[in-house]
Amino acid sequence: MDEQLQERSRRWLKRYGRRATRPAVRLLCFHHAGGSAAMYRQWPRLLPPSIEPIAVQLPGRADRFREPAHDRMEPIVDDLIEVIDPLLDEPFACYGISMGARVAWALAHTLRRQGMPTPCVLYVAAHPAPDCDISTWPWEGREDDLVGYLRDLGGTPAAVLAEPELLLALLPALRADLAVLSTHRFGPVTPLDTPIHVFAGADDITTTPEQMSGWRSATSARFDFTLVPSGHFLDAEAERLVAAAISTDLLQTTGAAGQPR
């Protein structure tokens, strides 16, 4: 890998913690709209050493704050394919929550279309199935703009919502991420032949379990559905449950061995 691609890889792909052994499978993790890779900082201790979580960092946030955020899906996926290509010689899976689920889905479809290796499993949380996409968005047409939308979702700390300077730093990346969602074609297409495992929040009023169940038609392979005790965003306990379910499933799927740290 040349130095320029190595630098791009370091910007896009975040590895938290060190692994003493070579992983049997990599897990690409995609954050929600307005989020960052740091939401997966604790995942190395939630997964066995045989599974390496690699958190994807989109531009326009955290250590990539000075880079322009993408506002369309295609350049996100194109850039991602370039940086993950050296990793595709080993088994990998994808996990995405909210917007991250759609990015993971788009990546899987593009990899298949280009004849490249595809994820051994696609894990999605807190995003309606493709056949539920009706092109209406809860953040549009609000008098309280994105701040009200953030309050409704419940994932943003009150201290951030009350601090204008913090909101000023957060909103540009969020606006770009929401533009990605509102301009991306997410309707039903030829189903993947990749297994899909859905995690639905029992108390999620933004993305209901019924909307999540539609992911069944997005694959011709195995489909699993897990209901977790959470709202749209996972608290620490729900996150632990999701990571444990992914661990069990991936170990069975790949035949790898190992116990969580």
d(CA 261, CA 259): 6
136 domain-assigned: yes
Looking from the CA of 179 toward its CB, the CA atoms found within 13 Å total 13
> Which runs of E-coded beta strand occur in the chain?
13-14, 25-30, 51-56, 92-97, 122-125, 196-201, 223-228
Tokens of 194: 């990749």
260 domain-assigned: no
* Number of domains present in the structure of the chain: 1
64 domain-assigned: yes
258 domain-assigned: no
pLDDT attached to residue 172: 86
255 domain-assigned: no
66 domain-assigned: yes
d(CA 170, CA 36): 11
In angstroms, what CA-CA distances link 18 with 26, 28, 244, 251? 14, 16, 20, 20
Give CA angle at 130 (127, 136), nearest 5°. 75
Task: Identify the CATH number of the domain in which residue 223 sits.
Answer: 3.40.50.1820
Nearest to 239 by CA among 92, 63, 70, 45: 45
51 domain-assigned: yes
Consecutive 10-residue averages of pLDDT for the chain (261 residues) = 86 86 92 93 95 97 95 97 95 96 97 98 96 67 61 63 68 88 86 97 92 96 97 93 97 72 44
Place of tokens 């990599």: 26
The model carries a pTM of: 0.90
Could you list the residue range(s) of the whole structural domain that residue 54 is in? 3-250
DSSP 161-195: HT-HHHHHHHHHHHHHHHHHHHHS--S--SPBSS-
257 domain-assigned: no
pLDDT attached to residue 152: 66
Tokens of 172: 């540009």
d(CA 70, CA 50): 33
